[in-house]
Amino acid sequence: MKEVKIKRQFDQVASALSIIMDQVGDGNLLHSRRVAVIATALSEIVMPEKRDIIFYASLLHDVGAVIFGKHILMFPSLGEQKRDPSVFKHPTIGSEIISKISGLKEAEGYIQDHHEWYDGSGYPLGKKGKEISLGAQVIRIADAIDMKIHVHGSDPFTDIYNYLRLHEGREFDPDLWNAVLDLKNKDAGTFFTRLSDNIGLNIGLQMMYSEVIKSVDPYWLTPTGRRQDYIYGSESALAVFSEIIDAKHKYTRKHSERVAFLGGKIARIMELPQMEIEQIKHAAYLHDIGKVFVPPDILDKAGLLSSREIEIMKRYTIITMEILDTIEAFRNLTAIAGFCQERYDGKGYPDGLSGEDIPVGARILGVADAVDAMLSDRAYRKALSVENTIVQLERCSGTQFDPTVATVVAGLLSNKEILEEMRKEHFIV
C-alpha cells in the first residue's frame, strides 16, 4: 500500500471529480461511482492483476463529457450517442485529460476505447474484436449495466440480464459472458440489488463504493522526489482540474493559467511570502471549478443575464468552495479561490465581504481575473486595449478593486517587458 497520505489525497481528488462529473442540476446520478464498483468487481474475475487501475479508470471514464454540460445517461442508445458530436468526442477528450495525470497511462487507453463495440459499431474509432483492450471492455459492460439501472430504477435485474445476453458478441467479447454470470451471483446474488438499491440516497452503492476505494492501491504512483506527496496529491490534480474548467468554456480557454501567471506576478511585487505566492497560483487554477455546474447556455450567453440566471451564476463561487473543501490538499486554497468575486466596496459575492476582510490572495485574483477578462475577446465584444484596461483599473480602484493591487497591475501593464511575457502566455495584449 502506498504511503497513506498520498493515497488519501489521490482518492479525495478522484472522488471529487466523480461527483463533479455526475452532477445534473440539483441531483447527482452517481454514474461514475456505480460504473467503478461494477468494473472493479468484473476485473477481479477477468483481470485481477489490473483491478486497481481499472478502478480509477472506470471512476474517471466519462471525464471527457463533463465539459459539455451533457450527461451521457441522457443518450441511452448507441445511435443517439454517435449523432451528438460532443458525446462522440468524449472518450478522446477524456483520455487527453487523463494523460495529464502522470502515471495513469494505462487508464488513458481504457478510457479512449470505452465506447468501442466488439462488432465494430462503436465509437470513436470503430475498433473491432481483440483490437479493443480487455480493460476497455470491462468498462463498456459496467457502463451498459448502469445505463439499464438508470433507465429501470429499483428492479433492473431481469432487464440487465436480457440486455447483456442480447449484446454478448455485439457490444462485448463473448468470452466475457461467464464473468457477467459470476457477477450476477456475486455476494449470494445481492450484488445488483445493493447497487441499485434506494435510488435517491443510494446508500447501498455508497457503501460499496467506500469499501472498494479503501481497498485499492494506486501502486503506479512512483515517487519522483521529496515533494512527491504534494505533487500527486495536488499538482497533477491542479492540472486536471484547470484543464476541465478551461475546456468547458471556450471563451475562457487557458484563462485559469493566465490568471495564475498574473496573480503570481502581482503577489511577488507585493512581496508576499513565497508560500502564499504558491497558494495564490494554485487557487487561480481552481477558482472557476464551480462553473462546471453552470449550464452552458448561461455561461456562454451573449446578451444580458436575467436575475434568475445571475443568481445561478453567483452560486458557482459557493460550489467552488464546497469542492475545494472536500479535498484536504486544497483546503487552504478555499478562501482565496472562493472569495475572488468579492469587491473591495463590499458589493461582490458570495458573502459581500469588503476591504481587508477579503483575503489578500482573493483580492489579487479578483483583479487578475477581471484584467484577463478585459483583455480577452468575448462573444459580445472585442478585447479591450491595454490602455483602456489601465483606465478601467484606475476607474474601479477602491470600488471593485483593492487600490494597492490595481496600482500594481497598472504598473505591470505599463511595462514593455511584462507585456512581451504576457503575449507569450497567450494574453491578447
Binding site for Fe ion (CB under 5 A): 62, 72, 143
Helix axes 255-269, 403-413, angle to 10 degrees: 110
- When the beta carbons of 159 and 276 are compared against Fe ion, the nearer one is 159
Q: Tell me whether residue 62 or residue 372 sits nearer to Fe ion (CB atom).
A: 62
> 88 vs 230, which CB is nearer to Fe ion?
88
Element (H, E) at 166: helix 157-167
Residue 58 C-beta: closest distance to Fe ion, Å: 9
CB 255 within 8 Å of CB 288: yes
Which residue shows C-alpha cell 474475475? Answer: 45
Give the whole-angstrom CA distance, residue 110 versus residue 99.
12
Q: Are the C-beta atoms of residues 19 and 336 closer than 8 Å to each other?
A: no
Given a contact cutoff of 8 angstroms between Cβ atoms, the answer to whether 59 and 32 are in contact is yes
Closest separation between CB of residue 402 and Fe ion, Å?
44
Least separation in angstroms between residue 62's CB and Fe ion is: 4
* Cβ count near 201 (within 10 Å): 9
Shortest distance (Å) from residue 65 CB to Fe ion:
6
- ∠300-362-301 over CA atoms, to 5°? 10
Distances (CA, A) of 140 to 169, 180, 261, 387: 13, 12, 40, 54
Query: Which three cell numbers mark 72?
Result: 451521457
Q: Quote the least distance from Cβ 245 to Fe ion, whole Å.
A: 20
Q: Which is nearer to Fe ion, 27 or 273 (CB)?
A: 27
Q: Is 44 exposed, middle or buried (0-12, 13-18, 19+ CB in 10 A)?
A: middle
| Cβ closest to Fe ion, residue 36 vs residue 365 | 36
Rounded least distance, CB 35 to Fe ion, Å: 6
66 vs 408 by CB, closer to Fe ion? 66
